Amino acid sequence: MDVVDVITAKRDGNVLSDDAIDWVIDAYTKGAIAEEQMSALLMAIFFNGMSPQELNRWTAAMIESGERMSFDDIGKPTTDKHSTGGVGDKITLPLAPIVAACGAAVPQLSGRGLGHTGGTLDKLESIPGWRASISNADMRAQLRDVGAVICAAGAGLAPADRKLYALRDVTATIESIPLIASSIMSKKIAEGTSALVLDVKVGVGAFMKDVDRARELARTMVGLGSAHGVNTVALLTAMDTPLGLTAGNALEVAESVEVLAGGGPRDVVELTVALAREMLAACGLGSGKDPVDAVADGSAMDCWNAMIRAQGGDPTAALPVAPHRHEVVTSASGRIVRMDAMAVGVAAWRLGAGRARKEDPVSFGAGVQIHAKPGDVVTAGMPLFTLHADDEARFERALEVLTDAVDIADVAWAQPKLIIERVGA
């Protein structure tokens, strides 16, 4: 085939054939299509979209570019969760052991943070000794013995997506729903789980700012999962306000352990339990042990400890602590009615908790600790944030973005819904 013909067809709004899609993905993965040519095709897709058939085939071709894992022989139903990313979104950490303690196997392939959204692997790597990279054999053994694995995806899983994502990042084609959906779902389907729950974040601190666009993305991904034999559901959840009371790496690990111990912030507990119940229902264990009971009887904490130890970590070790702190106090009295999740996420990033480029290191102790959230009544001079950093010079830029992050007013206030909507097959 001729790649120029494929680009021209999509540029003119035509539907690409199955053969054309298979050839393009295979040829690009092998380096036979130039970056500028694939860039042109991505831009044509960005403007003209994809039909359901095109998108299903595009996703299938990305899956077929690498290995497809299977856990049919481990003796437990498998279920997984994916979040589109937010601020303070440490939900995977308590969620995986809770669901495993209820009888499922959770093969959670996670990533690292970039920009204002934190990465699950970065958080877990703040635990002394814990390693993100494990072999497929070790992953299978851990699923059988412990029930949960949180680790990095191997290089053999959907390699086409790895190349395409890097290209989309530098060609302004990230915000295409077909390309987002195929990127997420190709990896999750190749991962081999039988059921998947998607947490699609909506709001100022999320990738999707608009609920209609978020709903479209959720429906597209649910459709892709179902078309490829994965029982898939999605929850649209609010991300105008940070989740929980921390944004950082070690700070969020500590908060996750609080949840497993039966405490933790209300919103983190609510979302963790809701997603756990969805995951269990999706894999056929909805009538079994409830996630709340797994926390109460200590089995979820036992699973967390076993999961961390299985990957070389010490769950009893002290977590990293940043040497410098700066307290931000409220300037007025009244009720907090708004806290900008994006501002808090960017502040944590500027303090060293995140990265601007994939190769950048992160500070495990850096981040933002939140002392009051929307709905809370405060008086002038009360602590609002504590900033944590390895370098005091980082405080100035973090404070800049937090200047207008909070609104305080003397008005009535109603708690907005954390879970906005459920999207099923």
Terminal Cα-to-Cα distance of the chain (whole angstroms): 36
| 3-class secondary structure, 332 | coil
Q: What is the pLDDT of residue 407?
A: 97
Q: Tokens standing for 28?
A: 């690009």
Task: Say how many residues make up the chain.
Answer: 425
Is residue 243 classed exposed, middle or buried when 0-12, 13-18 and 19+ CB atoms within 10 A define those classes? buried
Quick one: tokens of 355? 């990265």
Query: How is the chain split into domains, by residue range?
Result: 3-49, 80-310, 324-409
- Which residue's entry shows tokens 């830029």? 397
**CATH number for the segment(s) 3-49:** 1.20.970.10
Q: How many CB atoms sit inside 10 A of residue 361's CB?
A: 8
Q: Across-strand partners of 244?
A: none
Architecture of domain 324-409 in this structure: Alpha-Beta Complex (3.90)
Look at residue 45 in the predicted model and tell me its pLDDT.
Answer: 98
How far are the Cα atoms of 12, 44, 184, 405 from residue 47, in angstroms, in the given order? Answer: 10, 5, 20, 34
pLDDT at 112: 84
| Strand 231-238 to 195-202 pairing | parallel
Q: Do domains 3-49 and 324-409 have the same CATH topology?
A: no
pLDDT truncated to tens, each residue of the chain (425 aa)? 899 999 999 999 999 999 999 999 999 999 999 999 999 999 999 999 999 999 999 999 999 999 999 998 999 999 999 999 999 999 999 999 999 999 999 999 998 876 677 789 999 999 999 999 999 999 999 999 999 999 998 888 899 999 998 899 889 998 899 999 999 999 999 999 999 999 999 999 999 999 999 999 999 999 999 999 999 999 999 999 999 999 999 999 999 999 999 999 999 999 999 999 999 999 999 999 999 999 999 999 999 999 999 999 999 999 999 999 999 999 999 999 999 999 999 999 999 998 877 778 899 999 999 999 999 999 999 999 999 999 999 999 999 999 999 999 998 889 999 999 999 96
The span from the CA of 129 to the CA of 125, in Å, is: 8
- Phi then psi for residue 116, to 5 deg, are -85, -10
Encode 143-152: b = buried (16+ Cβ within 10 Å), e = exposed: beebbbbbbb
Strands 148-152 and 106-110 turn out to be parallel
Contact criterion met (CB below 8 Å) for 248 and 388: yes
81's enclosing H/E stretch is strand 80-83
Please tell me whether the overall predicted TM-score, pTM, comes out greater than 0.75 for this model: yes
Cβ within 8 Å of residue 277, ≥6 positions away:
286, 290, 291
- The helix/strand/coil state of 392 is helix
Q: Which residues are catalytic?
A: 82, 161, 168, 183, 187
Q: Which of 175, 203, 168 is nearest to 62 (CA)?
A: 168
Element (H, E) at 196: strand 195-202
CATH number belonging to domain 80-310: 3.40.1030.10
Q: How far is CA 361 from CA 38, 44, 283, 318, 393, in A?
A: 30, 35, 37, 21, 17
Pairing mode of beta strands 383-389, 367-370: antiparallel
Instruction: Provide φ and ψ at 253, rounded to 5°.
Output: -65, -45
